[in-house]
A and B are shown apart, each in its own frame.
Chain A
Amino acid sequence: MVTNTRKALGAHALRPLGVPNALTVEAGTHGQPRSVQKPAWNAPRRVLGIQDAWRIDDEWWRDRPIARRYFCVQMEGDLLVTLYHDLAIDAWFEQRG
């Protein structure tokens, strides 16, 4: 006879890929990034140019609406980084994937 196992339901089963990493960004007067500091870097790096910018507004009907302003920036050291400003919580993140 097999009994009901009554196992507790598991949590966090799916691990999203490309979860954004927090960044420290110094922004200009119009909100564009001027320098970026990743946790692994010793010092902030200057943004040489913005190659692209776009905005995503989604899930406005939920408790945590999504409002992001994306920038694809060229950094010192010929580095290309995609980052965004989370307008809902006023924080910066690096986006991968």
Chain B
Amino acid sequence: MPGLPAGWPDVTVCCVWLPLLPLRVAVLQHPEWDGLPLVLGGAPGERKVVQCCSPEAERAGLQPGLPLREVLARCADAVVVQPDPEAEAMALKQVIEGLQLVSPDVEVQSEHLYVNLRGLRALHHGELALLDRALRAAVPLMLQPRIGMAGNKFTARAAAEAAAPRGTQVVPAGDTVGFLAALPVALLPLSTATLQRMDVLGLRTIGELAALPFSAVQAEFGKAGARAWRLAHGQDDEPVLPYQVKPTVAAGITLDDPLSSIEGFHTALRMVLGRAFGDPSLHNRSVRRVRLSAQLSTGASWEQLLVFKGALMGRDAVFRALKDKLEVPNALPPAPFETLAAELTDLGAETGKQPSIFAKNVQQEQQLAEATRQLQTRYQTPPVYHAVEVEPWSRIPERRWALMPFDP
């Protein structure tokens, strides 16, 4: 990479910034869109305004907050990208996994990924250029990563944001204060109200803030101001917190025909949860968090992250909780869905079971479950089904009812 200093200056943290990630992921899927004015539309249920736009779109007069219906009128070449959270998460996951090959300590903060560089010097023969090459190999070029390397996290982030597109900015620890001095105070982790007050007081750059006495800044702006002053002086001891891979159980189904009804969604959800809880990893484990995702017949994807107040055990309890949570407006897929998948995370230990007092029913259910298990072991396929309503109002008779494997 041209412009990188020779050797290995005093840098310990790297920040990989992936600006406009939703738009760049769309370009990753449609390379022919690279260079076109791109705008991100709202997800189903959100306001129909531009969420973010590419530099080309900004040059054409588009900006976030503009109603989508005005986009094509202002820029006929603009491409409106639908949010695809699933593809975005997948792309981000690949980048994280790639960066973890460079360093085991990778922290994820939205579009900023921090990499701990301590201990990597010898691995790269003391050449920062080699490390830069390894980092770039982990990130697809189409995502236009900007890389900043510095002596702490805040400066590394500022360096990444100051870097040219697809470029690298290195700020050795000794140059931190000088580098930060010219940057705007808006880069500091301060609330909008605090930034407005700084603007009123004539504080525009980090250097102007750093020039003030610490006690005055702390008295005026409180704890956040004190931290900002320390950051302006290159004092940031916040460590890189390694990204933790949470144990996850995933399951899903693919449908022959897209389903659009609430009943159909509930049926598919029950089946997906049945498969997930059939996984031995979930035996006697509780669940706190479920991520539901679906591929829609429109080509878009849908995703919902649902967190429970308490740990829930068993398919039925999780299904009831999800059903309740999805009863709010715009919670369900906005179009017929072709696949439905669930990822269950935040798994906990067994919290205890309350046996039923209706012993007869329990006994019958246990017998049926045992018989089903034996048959399934023998025939390898689900031997017992039960009929469920899928789209009872459908004009097409074979869409009204379906057989669902009996999952004890």
Contacts and interface: CB of A to CB of B under 8 A. Distances in A.
A30 interface: no
Interface string A2-19: 111111011111111111
Q: Give the most central of B257, B285, B339: most A CB within 10 Å.
A: B257
B232 to A, nearest CB: 42
B387 interface: yes
Nearest to B402: A14
A6 B245 CA distance: 13
Interface string A55-78: 010100010001000000000000
B103 interface: no
Given A17-B387, A18-B401, A66-B396, A5 B275 contact: no
Contacts, number: 93
Contacts of B282: 2
Contacts of B245: 4
Contacts of A18: 397-398, 400-401
A28 interface: no
Contacts of B395: 56, 58
A58 B281 CA distance: 43
A9 B253 contact: yes
Contact of B396 (A3, A10, A13, A56): A56
A4 B247 contact: yes
A20 B271 CA distance: 24
A5 B252 CA distance: 12
A3 B401 CA distance: 36
A80 B396 CA distance: 20
Q: How large is the interface on B (under 10, 10 to 19, 20 to 34, 35 or more residues)?
A: 35 or more
A88 interface: no
Nearest to B258: A62
B341 interface: yes
Interface size of A as a range: 20 to 34
B254 A9 contact: yes
Contacts of A12: 254, 256
Nearest to A10: B253
A7 B256 contact: no
A31 interface: no
Interface of B: 245, 247-257, 267-268, 271, 275, 279, 281-282, 285, 297, 339, 341, 347, 385, 387, 390, 395-405
Interface of A: 1-7, 9-20, 56, 58, 62, 66, 95-97
Given A5-B281, A16-B403, 14 more contacts: A2-B285, A2-B347, A4-B245, A4-B248, A7-B279, A9-B252, A9-B253, A9-B254, A10-B254, A12-B254, A13-B254, A14-B253, A18-B401, A96-B397
19 contacts: A2-B247, A2-B249, A2-B285, A2-B347, A4-B245, A4-B248, A5-B248, A6-B250, A7-B250, A9-B251, A13-B253, A14-B253, A14-B403, A16-B390, A16-B398, A17-B403, A20-B398, A56-B395, A95-B397
